[in-house]
Amino acid sequence: MLFNWFTVVAQIINFLILVWLLKRYLYQPILNAIREREERIATQLKHAEGKEADALKERQLYLSKNEELDRNRTQLMQKANDEAAAERSRLLETARKEAGALRLKLETAFREEQSGLAADLSRRIRVEVMQVAQSILKELADSSLEDQIIHVFLARLGQSQEAKSFNWTSGAERSPSPVVIKSSLPLTPEQQELLKVSVRSTLQLKEDITFTIAPDLIAGIELSANGYKLTWSVADHLSSIEKTVDQLVKARTEKKPVDNNQVA
């Protein structure tokens, strides 16, 4: 049997070309496709594992948050109960205070109503006292009111050990202002001279004496210097009488509720 080597060689070459073509255009793409699919599957598996891990984390987070919500709910319920109890106590305390304030207002109104008559009586007494004082001043005016006031003032000045012991001259060293005598009525030159001589003799003064008018003294005289004052006026007596009347009325007014409680 004769071999055609050319044909054999050609067949071998054709076979190798076919193998190369199959490998190049069929087998290699199949391998590439298989490898890519394996890689895609591996990636999907990794992604699935990541999703599963994320799901597990989410589940743990959910469980943790659920437990935290349960704890917070319990705490909130306890806090709400505590706040409700505190608010109830506050409202009760407020109601108690308001009731006490209302009771105090009622008691005050009752006392004021009881003391109304006493206050009216006090005002009437004060008016009567002022009328009596005015009548006395009118009677004194007939016998030289100014002389009577000066006489009484000088008598009080002579009896005042505090005025005699006061260091009147130290004031003159610190301040140039002289000794001042205020009177409710204008004084005649003779009356002023009498006061100057008597005051300087009694207090051993050498300073000048200035005379001014102060109607608010209400029939009186005031000697002042270096922060010290010696005053005599009808207003002092009226104030003393008024204080006495107020004390009597107050004592009577405070005694009445006690008697009412005892009767009740």
> pLDDT at residue 180 above 80?
yes
Written as one string, the DSSP assignment of 17-65 is HHHHHHIIIIIHHHHHHHHHHHHHHHHHHHHHHHHHHHHHHHHHHHHHH
Q: Where are the beta strands (DSSP E) in the chain?
A: 179-183, 209-213, 220-225, 228-233
Domain boundaries of the chain, sorted by first residue: 40-114, 145-234
Which of the residue ranges 34-38, 141-145, 153-157 would you say has the lowest mean pLDDT? 141-145
Amino acid at 170: S
- Confidence band (pLDDT; 50, 70, 90) for 167? low
Q: What is the mean pLDDT of residues 54-72?
A: 86
Strands 209-213 and 179-183: parallel
| pLDDT value of residue 143 | 43
How wide is the angle at C-alpha 13 spanned by C-alphas 11 and 17, nearest 5°?
115
- Overall CATH class of domain 145-234: alpha beta
CA distance 166 to 228: 8
Class of residue 145 by CB neighbours under 10 A (exposed 0-12, middle 13-18, buried 19+): middle
What would the two tokens of residue 222 be?
């005031």
Which of the residue ranges 42-56, 79-93, 210-224, 250-264 would you say has the lowest mean pLDDT? 250-264
Digit-coded pLDDT (tens) for 88-114: 888 888 888 888 888 888 888 777 776
> pLDDT at residue 138 above 60?
no
